[in-house]
Structure 1
Amino acid sequence: MNVIKKRLAPSLLVLFLVTLAGFTLFSNTLRTMTLPKVITEKPSPGPMNHLVEGNGVVSPGQQDDLISESGWKVTKVYVKQGDSVAKGQALVAFDGTELEQTLLDEEASRRKRMLEKEDVEEQFKVAMQHGDEDAILKAKRDLQTYRLDEETSARKINALRNELEQKKMLTAPYDGIISDVQAREGLRVPQGQKALSLVSPGKGFEVSFTVRADSAALLMLEEEIPVSVILGGQTKRMNGRVAEFKDRPSDGANGDGTGTQGISAAQRIVVVALAGEELKGGEQASIRIEKPSLQEGMVLRKEYTKNDGKGRYVFVVQENKSSLGNAYYAQKKYIRVLDETAEELVVEGLHEQMDVITESSVPLQDGNQIRLQ
């Protein structure tokens, strides 16, 4: 009996140890199943692409408003939107009846004064024949007055004729294209207000796009960029040239509303020059260009990051190895943002071998044990 017990003892000990190990492993497995489940992703090195996009309306490089200097009623509009006109061509006729009547009255008054002058000249001849000194002096004074009146009347008539010529007909000051016709037949154009606009095709066209300041910084003056323009209901791709940058006040927040410190939230206006015989002005235009970021680092989706009082951070996986198996923990890792778009970040503080936690079954705290999916 003792011999049997001695023979069974080692086997029972082994069985006990195996059972104990099994319970330990089973217990660890059960415990692991209760841990937060996470999904991870490795950050990718390299530049991030910015999407530079915007919409605008094509406008002429030079456009002059031709105004009504008289405020008279419009009698005839000879042109319409988009018409090509030559220098000196009649554009709009105005009713100058009132000024014409004033001119006729002034001319009639002048003729009347000339008749009166003839009578005074006759009186002067008679006075000279009779040697009447008083009559001679009076006639001379009257003749001098009539000469002054005649000079004044002549100047007034010339001024009225010039005014009538200038105001009765609006003509093209140079070869161009008609735009924004405001004049309507039978209606008055208020004095000093625009009757129509004239575009100089030789000055080309331009379109302004409002984009994020950090995206605008990726463009260069004189750089050629593609512009999509809607012509006749169809989209045509045209070559544009970056002609100018203009500042636009910042609202103090990023385009995505995060207001991240250190990343420019301002917007800039990018003016792009266009050339094309088919352009008239007023066409809808847009740009959509991908430009690489000027900063290089680890590229990470913005949604994976969080903020606290110390700054922006992510959770990464920390692995602890042991004889009973590997354990994984969530570790808070602070990062420095170098550049960003609406969806992605270029950051410092990570390397491409790190596993960044992108999803978790429960909210995490620094040091929480986790299980990988």
Structure 2
Amino acid sequence: MGNEAIAGDAQRKKVIGKLSLLFLMAMIGLTFFSNTINNFTLPRVQTARPTNGALIKEIFGEGTVEVKSTREEYADANLRVKEVMVEQGDRVSKGQPIIILDVNELKSNYQDEQARYRQLQLSLAGAREEQAQKQRDYDNLKYLFDNEAETAVNLQNAEKNLVDAQRNCEDIQLNLEIQARKVDTLAKQVANNGVYTAPVDGMITELNFAQGSMTNNSLPLFKLADLRQGFRLIVPIDNDLVDYVKPGDTVSVNILSLGDKRTEGKIDKIVENSQHNGEEKDLWIDVSLEGLTGGEKGEIYLSKKTKPYANLVPNSAVYNDSSGSYVFVLESRKGPLGRSNYLQKVEVNVEDSDNEKSALTDMVMGEVVMQSNKPVEDGDRVLKEAAN
């Protein structure tokens, strides 16, 4: 009996041991299986370490080509247009007739104004003789008055007459000068028989009066682009990009309306944008390209390096909320089944950025999350994946 009891007890212990082992193995298996399933549900993230270096500022813009220098020709008198010799857009040579005005009536006016000028000359000569006589009268009365042979009233009247004669001479002299300028202007208009020519080689960009119409001096007869002076492309850019460009910088230029012809231009000036003053500035870019006439649409590209930064992270690593900017730093912690990765939210200040990276003023230690397959929060456990 004793041996049988001992054998039975040993058998029970053996069974219990096997069951315990099976239970332990089952628990380990369930724990591993549960952990594996949990891993499939964890957010998967890709990370990057902060680097140092410069940002690349890329400047794009579109604008319009214009001629640097434009000449305007005005008619000094309102005359009827006799003939228009060119059309808008025509290229012309220096001295080529552009527009002819009817000066027949002007010639008659010129003769009348010449006669008026001669009349004023005669009037001035007579006024000067009268002034000389008034001066003599005053001198004689002054002599008599000094010798107590004339009254003060008569001397005062003589002085007044002399002042009036001097003022009359001055008025006639001014009218004569005005008349001289008028005659000179008419003489020039009559001399060219109403033919207005191109002052330089160039292209007609504006014609304001058709044949048979009357001119007025509020508008030029024509505008002429002086092609010898070259062209500029005017491109507006945001004020926050102005610090990265300066006169003398070379830019890549693409003229869209010339079949995407490409060339290089040089920034000549940076001026305020008249339509968005305080928000934008205009780049004046010198360009030279065969076929330009003004009015073409063009685009530019320019890349410039910023100053070096000590802490650069991908733009996708920077998040924003109502309290500011932050990044998620990957933190490794040891657990019962090995090490696991958790997220730590770190607030940061972004000093500058380009199309790919952001420069942080705060030093960030460790890897930052730049991509996640699902939304994440501070303290989340995540799986780290290799970056593509």
TM-score, normalisation: structure 2: 0.67
| Corresponding residue for residue 138 of structure 1 | none
CA change 1:352–1:249 in 2 (3 A) is farther
Is contact 1:295–1:338 with CA below 8 Å preserved after alignment? Answer: no
Runs of 5+ consecutive residues of structure 1 not aligned to the other structure? 111-147, 253-264
Is contact 1:316–1:332 with CA below 8 Å preserved after alignment? Answer: yes
CA change 1:350–1:225 in 2 (3 A) is same
Q: Any residues of structure 2 matched to 1:245-264 within 5 Å, and which? A: 245-248=270-273
For 1:244, the aligned partner's letter is K
Instruction: Report the alpha carbon displacement of residue 158 of structure 1 after superposing the two structures with TM.
Output: 6.5
Given candidates 9, 23, 28, the residue that maps to 1:21 is 28
CA distance, structure 1, for counterparts of residue 274 and residue 345 of structure 2: 36
| Corresponding residue for residue 280 of structure 1 | 293
Matched, 1:161 2:174: no
| Corresponding residue for residue 314 of structure 1 | 327
Is contact 1:209–1:270 with CA below 8 Å preserved after alignment? Answer: yes
Q: Report % sequence identity.
A: 22
Given candidates 282, 285, 288, the residue that maps to 1:269 is 282
Instruction: Report the alpha carbon displacement of residue 9 of structure 1 after superposing the two structures with TM.
Output: 4.4
CA distance, structure 2, for counterparts of residue 354 and residue 314 of structure 1: 10
Deviations 1:161-191 (A, max 9, x none): 3454479332333444332233322223332
Given candidates 71, 78, 90, the residue that maps to 2:78 is 71
CA distance, structure 1, for counterparts of residue 114 and residue 80 of structure 2: 24
How large is the RMSD of aligned CA atoms in angstroms? 3.8
Is contact 1:311–1:334 with CA below 8 Å preserved after alignment? Answer: yes
Deviations 1:262-302 (A, max 9, x none): xxx95332211123464322222221233334343555454
| Corresponding residue for residue 61 of structure 1 | 68
Instruction: Report the alpha carbon displacement of residue 244 of structure 1 after superposing the two structures with TM.
Output: 1.2
Matched, 1:91 2:91: no
Matched, 1:190 2:216: yes
| Corresponding residue for residue 358 of structure 2 | 345
Deviations 1:281-333 (A, max 9, x none): 22222212333343435554545432234421122332212232333322212
For 1:56, the aligned partner's letter is G
Runs of 5+ consecutive residues of structure 2 not aligned to the other structure? 1-7, 118-171
Structure 2 residue matching 1:24: 3-state secondary structure? helix
Matched, 1:41 2:68: no
Q: Aligned residues, how many?
A: 316
Q: Any residues of structure 2 matched to 1:333-372 within 5 Å, and which? A: 333-341=346-354, 344-349=357-362, 354-362=367-375, 364-372=376-384
CA distance, structure 2, for counterparts of residue 83 and residue 302 of structure 1: 52
CA distance, structure 1, for counterparts of residue 29 and residue 364 of structure 2: 38
Matched, 1:237 2:244: no
Is contact 1:47–1:294 with CA below 8 Å preserved after alignment? Answer: yes
CA distance, structure 2, for counterparts of residue 93 and residue 352 of structure 1: 80
Structure 2 residue matching 1:41: 3-state secondary structure? strand
CA distance, structure 2, for counterparts of residue 250 and residue 108 of structure 1: 53
CA distance, structure 2, for counterparts of residue 162 and residue 237 of structure 1: 47
Given candidates 10, 26, 31, the residue that maps to 1:3 is 10
CA change 1:15–1:159 in 2 (3 A) is closer
Structure 1 residue matching 2:207: 3-state secondary structure? coil
CA change 1:63–1:250 in 2 (3 A) is closer
Q: Which has the higher helix share?
A: 2
For 1:337, the aligned partner's letter is V
| Corresponding residue for residue 134 of structure 2 | none
For 1:40, the aligned partner's letter is Q
CA distance, structure 2, for counterparts of residue 348 and residue 61 of structure 1: 45
Structure 1 residue matching 2:335: 3-state secondary structure? coil
